[in-house]
């Protein structure tokens, strides 16, 4: 079934990349992919399975909501509704969702889309799981330069293991306010070029 879905996704991929489908009669899955697919044929949400496997203690390793350590960096975690029990936010640049399905609902609402029900949601999840690129580990020299610039203070270089593999999200999954309201430290895994790209050092400093 998964193989069939992969083939179907590959079939619509060129169309999805070529033109946004928001107003067409295509399925919500195709509409999502029309914006989220990259030229490389994957989606722009890297490491979906790994995000879900992020250890629950992860943000606690780095949280310093009041900058008690005096390093000039205050980062705080965000809890979001889990329909009756709070969940630590891990999806979205505002950490607005703890589960993929919740995040998909937020995104759909923001784009004027309506997910018809659980079955469609399951198809969306399957599509993103299949097409989400696997995050590799960064090249050591680039990582050293990245850390030397101080980027590792928030884009932390700590790793975690899951299913026999090692992951380095390059994010503390905390909210930081750099002047435009709190935003999550973007996970830079799967973006080797980002390690050598000047970011927001000026704002941070």
Partner 1 sequence: MRLTFAAALLATLATTATAQEATIVLPKGNFGNYNPTLSAKEAVLANWEMAASGILAGEVLGRQVVKAADDGASFKALSRQAAFAVDTMVTRYNAAAWLYHENPGVTPMDDATLQGLVTAAALDCDAEDCSAEAQTIRAAFAQASAELGAATEDARGEIVARQDRVDAVLLSEQLAMVADYLESAAWGSDLVLTEHGRDADVLADRIVGAVALWRNVEPYVGLTSPEVDDAINAASTNLLRTMRRGLQGVERIEPESALLADLTVAASNLAAEFRRASALFAS
**Candidate list 84, 112, 179, 198; residue touching partner 1; CB under 8 A:** 84
Shortest Cβ 96–partner 1 spacing (Å): 5
80, β-bridge pairs: 87
**Candidate list 87, 113, 130, 191; residue touching partner 1; CB under 8 A:** 87
Nearer to partner 1, 14 or 109 (CB): 109
* DSSP symbols for the chain: -HHHHHHHHHHHHHHHHHS--TTSS--HHHHHHHHHB-TTSSBSSTTHHHHHTS-TTGGGGT-BTT-TT-SS--BB--EE--SSS-EE--BTTTT-BSSHHHHHHHHHHHTT----SHHHHHHHHHHHHHHSPPP-PPPHHHHHHHHHTTGGGTS----EEETTEEE-------EEESSSSEEEPPP-TT-GGGGGS--SHHHH-
CB atoms within 10 A of CB 152: 16
**Which parts of 9-68 interact with partner 1 (CB under 8 A)?**
49, 52-53, 55-57, 60-61, 65-66, 68
**Candidate list 31, 36, 90, 176; residue touching partner 1; CB under 8 A:** 90
**Which parts of 114-173 interact with partner 1 (CB under 8 A)?**
115, 117-119, 121-122, 125
Whether 91 and 103 have beta carbons less than 8 Å apart is answered as: yes
Which two tokens mark 19? 């033109």
**Candidate list 14, 20, 41, 82; residue touching partner 1; CB under 8 A:** 82
Nearer to partner 1, 94 or 191 (CB): 94
Is 89 near partner 1 (CB under 8 A)? yes
Nearer to partner 1, 62 or 146 (CB): 62
Shortest Cβ 163–partner 1 spacing (Å): 11
**Candidate list 47, 98, 169, 187; residue touching partner 1; CB under 8 A:** 98
| Interface contacts to partner 1, rule CB under 8 A | 49, 52-53, 55-57, 60-61, 65-66, 68, 76-77, 79-90, 96-102, 105-106, 109, 115, 117-119, 121-122, 125
């Amino acid at each position: 079934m998964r193989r069939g879905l992969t083939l179907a996704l590959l079939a619509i991929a060129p169309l999805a990349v070529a033109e946004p489908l928001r107003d067409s009669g295509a399925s919500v899955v195709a509409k999502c992919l029309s914006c989220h697919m990259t030229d490389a044929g994957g989606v722009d949400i890297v490491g979906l399975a790994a995000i879900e496997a992020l250890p629950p203690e992860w943000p606690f390793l780095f949280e310093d909501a009041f900058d008690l350590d005096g390093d000039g960096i205050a980062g705080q975690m965000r809890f979001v509704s889990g329909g009756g029990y709070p969940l630590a936010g891990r999806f979205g640049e505002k950490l607005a969702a703890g589960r993929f399905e919740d995040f998909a609902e937020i995104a759909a609402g923001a784009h004027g889309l309506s997910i018809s029900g659980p079955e469609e949601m399951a198809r969306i999840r399957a599509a993103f799981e299949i097409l989400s690129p696997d995050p590799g580990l960064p090249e050591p020299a680039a990582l050293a330069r990245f850390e030397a610039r101080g980027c590792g203070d928030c884009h932390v270089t700590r790793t975690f293991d899951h299913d026999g593999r090692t992951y380095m999200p390059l994010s503390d999954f905390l909210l930081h306010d750099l002047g435009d309201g709190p935003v999550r430290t973007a996970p830079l895994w799967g973006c080797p070029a980002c390690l050598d790209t000047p970011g927001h050092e000026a704002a941070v400093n």
